[in-house]
């Protein structure tokens, strides 16, 4: 999905309001918190720089954000002007990115689900691998690939609904719609089955693949905005993929 200005505006408002995203950030912070200090980081599909900025604040030495959407990057660069963190932003798709460096850590937030099909997914993963060295860790906030979680009974609790357009053994092709106070935001996604996604990463040189469940932010108290997510370990449609490049 290549966001235009209207969609960027809607996504930014939606993301700010939807506490579900904070569970993904808490899972990432928990996973990288102890290892990110002084590391070089590449954040792919960085959007308006939300994760990119967090990763820098959590201790990354140098960080590059890459995205194919100019309006998203304009917003990221605007933020960089008003609150400079020294982040480099680059406009490219992951498919066209090629090798731009050898990073200690590569991250992405809801990137692979934008693949058009299986061959496109493989080009994405190939280019992630091209920017790794032996030992690079990849952390992806991905669709969890547990396909039976994609149903309206589960998702309705969190103000999301799903329309499945088609399915095959590797993925579900679907539209996810999130409702929020100012309207709704729809995403057309391919949700790759977890074992299939793992196998694609293995084929491109990654090992030690595991998935971290989403986490409630520290300090969450009964009755606050996160209470609705108390069963999120068994229900989330996103988790954090964690693997190591051994090529």
Ligand X SMILES: C[S@@+](CC[C@H](N)C(=O)[O-])C[C@H]1O[C@@H](n2cnc3c(N)ncnc32)[C@H](O)[C@@H]1O
* Binding region for ligand X (CB under 6 A): 1-3, 45-47, 50-51, 67-69, 72, 93-95, 109-111, 114
Specify the residue, 96 or 222, whose C-beta has the smaller distance to ligand X: 96
Specify the residue, 101 or 246, whose C-beta has the smaller distance to ligand X: 101
Specify the residue, 136 or 189, whose C-beta has the smaller distance to ligand X: 189
Shortest distance (Å) from residue 29 CB to ligand X: 13
Specify the residue, 115 or 232, whose C-beta has the smaller distance to ligand X: 115
**CB of 240 within 8 A of CB of 141?**
yes
Beta strands (DSSP E) in the chain are 40-44, 62-67, 88-91, 103-109, 132-143, 160-167, 171-180, 183-192, 206-212, 238-245
- Distance between CA atoms of 165 and 172, rounded to whole angstroms? 8
Specify the residue, 79 or 202, whose C-beta has the smaller distance to ligand X: 79
- Distance between CA atoms of 51 and 13, rounded to whole angstroms? 16
**CB of 73 within 8 A of CB of 92?**
no
Which candidate, 10, 84, 95, places its Cα nearest to that of 52? Answer: 84
Specify the residue, 188 or 208, whose C-beta has the smaller distance to ligand X: 188
Tell me, what DSSP letter sits at residue 165? E
Shortest distance (Å) from residue 67 CB to ligand X: 5
Shortest distance (Å) from residue 203 CB to ligand X: 19
Shortest distance (Å) from residue 12 CB to ligand X: 9
Query: How would you label 171-200 residue by residue, b for 16+ Cβ within 10 Å and e otherwise?
Result: bbebebebeeeeeebebebbbbbbeebbeb
- Distance between CA atoms of 132 and 28, rounded to whole angstroms? 19
Specify the residue, 109 or 145, whose C-beta has the smaller distance to ligand X: 109
Q: What values do phi and psi take at 200, rounded to 5?
A: -65, -45
Shortest distance (Å) from residue 45 CB to ligand X: 3
Shortest distance (Å) from residue 65 CB to ligand X: 9
Shortest distance (Å) from residue 114 CB to ligand X: 4
């Amino acid at each position: 999905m290549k966001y235009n200005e209207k969609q960027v505006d809607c996504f930014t408002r939606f993301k700010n309001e939807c506490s579900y995203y904070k569970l993904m950030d808490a899972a990432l912070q928990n996973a990288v918190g102890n290892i990110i200090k002084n590391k070089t980081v590449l954040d792919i599909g960085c959007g308006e720089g939300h994760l990119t900025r967090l990763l820098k604040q959590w201790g990354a030495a140098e960080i590059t954000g890459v995205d194919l959407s100019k309006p998203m990057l304009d917003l990221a660069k605007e933020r960089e002007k008003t609150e400079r963190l020294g982040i480099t932003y680059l406009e490219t798709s992951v498919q066209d990115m090629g090798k731009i460096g050898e990073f200690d850590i590569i991250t992405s937030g809801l990137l692979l689900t934008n693949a058009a099909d299986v061959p496109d997914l493989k080009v994405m993963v190939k280019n992630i691998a091209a920017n790794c060295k032996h030992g690079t860790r990849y952390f992806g906030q991905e669709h969890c690939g547990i396909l039976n979680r994609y149903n309206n009974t589960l998702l309705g609790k969190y103000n999301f609904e799903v329309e499945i357009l088609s399915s095959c053994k590797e993925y579900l092709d679907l539209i996810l719609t999130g409702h929020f106070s100012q309207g709704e935001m729809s995403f057309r996604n391919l949700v790759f089955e977890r074992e299939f996604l793992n196998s694609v990463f293995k084929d491109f040189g990654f090992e030690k693949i595991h998935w971290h469940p989403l986490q409630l932010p520290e300090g969450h108290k009964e009755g606050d905005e996160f209470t609705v997510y108390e069963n999120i370990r068994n229900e989330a449609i996103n988790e954090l993929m964690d693997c190591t490049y051994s090529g």
